[in-house]
């Protein structure tokens, strides 16, 4: 048989089988490679079984560990909190691309066990789907109706500044803890909008309610609660979890009592605040026989609780940082007070003055940036499978936008680790915006009270600096004032005291 004839001989069964196996191996190898390339997941440190990367993370300040990890693994990486897989987003460009440019894909809220315990999927902060959309839409519309960003809320804030100033004046320049006065004042703004009235600072129930809410914010960031979120079956054994649940239940009872009193005196023709608006919607739904209405008691109580927790803590904490930075950097305080005196003299500041007080505005913004009150945002989840920056992220994956990495991104800020109001000023001293300024997060889940918070910060800070000089207590130098944040879900200053010394010419 010639070699040519051999080429055209019919193949044997063994040859056919060999060819099929060879082709199958080639197919599997190449398809697996392309599949791996297509479904390439973000890199990250190797996790241990069950514990994940828990031993590598500083549970008191996890945001610091995650920032360090981003230097090694890049701006999109995977970390395991216990058995839970989390994709971390670091740096301005990456966080913006996810939350703003891909807001739908990254728009759901990840509800950790502790926040499900507290909200059961109701309210605004820790809910998804139609309930979240309806409650957010209602809250935003109602807050606007009651003057958020307009003259109505401006008058409420200005009224509250008078009460706060009187409280500080009564201290006669003696050292005081800044947390209580500022918590009470900011909480009263929310009270005026939600309930239609404010509380006296001496009201025992009010003081207890504010204290419990603040305690829960601190406990929410504690190592034991983070461990609970990884291993929820530990709940009954953890002291912090028991205390959080007790605080929350007591605050809910107080909110229910306040709501019941408002319901008994409800006037359909005149709404006093957000609760009245909700109750009217609830009654209308009941009249029409709408059994699927989302305007039910659970959503009302949790929404009110959310507004107080989010609206009081972050704003009062930022104001505490403002005053601490002024005491720490007296030359910056000098500059702020010179500008306020030159533009306002002794008259009451109003929101309209902001454009004529660029340095003061820059100091407030720089405080928000450097204080970094919510360093890790509130986690999101993906609404669908998504390929992001070349990585595959599966639907339902927890995603953590690392806001601290945006606010301190060295590609966006000249001196990210220092307090530098020039970050928000041009060469002529005019205020300039920076897109990497994201203390309120961004995209679908951006803080709905942002414009209200901005008004409170400006009016409170300007009014306080107009009337008082903030200094360290006697015997404490500026250098001794500690800027290390306390442990908590939000970053408060470490416990400290300041003196509010009256500026006699403005009294």
- Is 499 annotated among the ligand-binding residues? no
The owner of tokens 């994709």 is: 87
The tens digit of pLDDT for each residue in 15-73 reads: 444 544 444 443 333 333 333 345 799 999 999 999 999 999 999 999 999 999 999 99
Calpha distance 320→177 (Å, rounded): 10
Low-confidence residues of the chain, pLDDT below 50?
Answer: 1-11, 13, 15-17, 19-37, 149
3-state secondary structure of 346: coil
What value, to the nearest 5°, has the Cα angle with vertex 172 and ends 169 and 173? Answer: 105
Q: What is the pLDDT of residue 467?
A: 97
Tokens of 197: 């009235």
Q: Which residues make beta-bridge pairs with 109?
A: 380
For residues 83 and 394, is the Cβ–Cβ distance under 8 A? no
Calpha distance 268→280 (Å, rounded): 7
Calpha distance 195→273 (Å, rounded): 5
Q: What is the pLDDT of residue 153?
A: 80
> Beta strand pairing status for 398-401 and 84-89?
parallel
Q: What is the pLDDT of residue 38?
A: 54
Tokens of 309: 């927790």
Q: What is the pLDDT of residue 148?
A: 54
Q: Which residues make beta-bridge pairs with 86?
A: 79, 398
For residues 124 and 139, is the Cβ–Cβ distance under 8 A? yes
Q: What is the pLDDT of residue 469?
A: 97
3-state secondary structure of 61: coil
Calpha distance 27→332 (Å, rounded): 68
Closest CA to 439 of 469, 410, 403: 403
Q: What is the pLDDT of residue 146?
A: 72
Calpha distance 145→369 (Å, rounded): 30
The owner of tokens 């959503």 is: 299
Q: What is the pLDDT of residue 16?
A: 47
Calpha distance 209→212 (Å, rounded): 5
For residues 69 and 52, is the Cβ–Cβ distance under 8 A? no
């Amino acid at each position: 048989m010639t070699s040519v004839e051999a080429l055209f001989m019919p193949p044997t069964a063994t040859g056919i089988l060999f060819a099929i196996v060879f082709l199958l191996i080639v197919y599997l190898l190449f398809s697996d490679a392309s599949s791996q390339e297509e479904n390439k997941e973000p890199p990250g440190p190797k996790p241990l079984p069950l514990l994940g990367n828990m031993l590598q993370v500083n549970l008191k300040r996890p945001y610091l560990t995650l920032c360090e990890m981003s230097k090694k693994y890049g701006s999109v990486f995977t970390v395991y909190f216990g058995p839970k897989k989390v994709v971390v987003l670091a740096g301005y460009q990456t966080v913006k691309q996810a939350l703003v440019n891909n807001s739908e894909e990254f728009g759901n809220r990840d509800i950790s066990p502790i926040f499900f315990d507290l909200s059961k999927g109701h309210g605004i902060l820790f809910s998804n789907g139609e309930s979240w959309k309806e409650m957010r839409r209602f809250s935003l519309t109602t807050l606007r109706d009651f003057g958020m960003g307009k003259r109505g809320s401006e008058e409420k804030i200005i009224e509250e500044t008078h009460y706060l100033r009187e409280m500080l004046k009564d201290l006669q320049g003696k050292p005081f803890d800044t947390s209580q006065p500022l918590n009470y004042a900011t909480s009263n703004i929310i009270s005026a909008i939600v309930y239609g009235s404010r509380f006296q600072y001496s009201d025992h129930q009010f003081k207890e309610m504010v204290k419990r809410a603040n305690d829960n914010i601190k406990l929410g960031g504690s190592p034991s609660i983070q461990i609970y979120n990884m291993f929820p079956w530990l709940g009954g054994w953890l002291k912090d979890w028991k205390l959080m649940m007790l605080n929350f239940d007591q605050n809910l009872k107080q909110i229910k009592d306040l709501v019941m009193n408002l319901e008994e005196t409800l006037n359909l023709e005149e709404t006093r605040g957000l609760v009245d608006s909700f109750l009217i919607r609830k009654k209308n739904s009941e009249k029409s026989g709408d059994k699927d209405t989302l305007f039910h008691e659970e959503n009302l109580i949790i929404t009110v609780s959310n507004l107080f927790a989010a609206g009081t803590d972050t704003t009062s904490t930022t104001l505490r940082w403002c005053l601490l930075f002024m005491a720490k950097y007296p030359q910056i305080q000098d500059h702020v007070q010179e500008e306020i005196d030159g533009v306002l003299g002794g008259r009451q500041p109003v929101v309209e003055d902001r454009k004529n007080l660029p340095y003061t505005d820059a100091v407030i913004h720089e405080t928000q940036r450097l204080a970094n009150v919510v360093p890790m945002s509130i986690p999101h989840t993906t609404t669908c499978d998504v390929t992001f920056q070349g990585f595959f992220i599966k639907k339902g994956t927890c995603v953590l936008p690392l806001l601290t990495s945006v606010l301190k991104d060295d590609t966006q800020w000249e001196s990210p680790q220092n307090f530098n109001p020039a970050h928000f000023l041009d060469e002529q001293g005019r205020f300039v915006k920076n897109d990497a300024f994201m203390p309120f997060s961004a995209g679908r889940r951006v803080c709905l009270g942002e414009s209200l918070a901005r008004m409170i910060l400006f009016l409170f800070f300007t009014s306080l600096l107009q009337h008082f000089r903030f200094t360290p207590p006697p015997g404490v130098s500026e250098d001794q004032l500690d800027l290390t944040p306390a442990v908590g879900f939000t970053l408060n200053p470490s416990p400290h005291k300041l003196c509010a010394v009256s500026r006699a010419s403005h009294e």
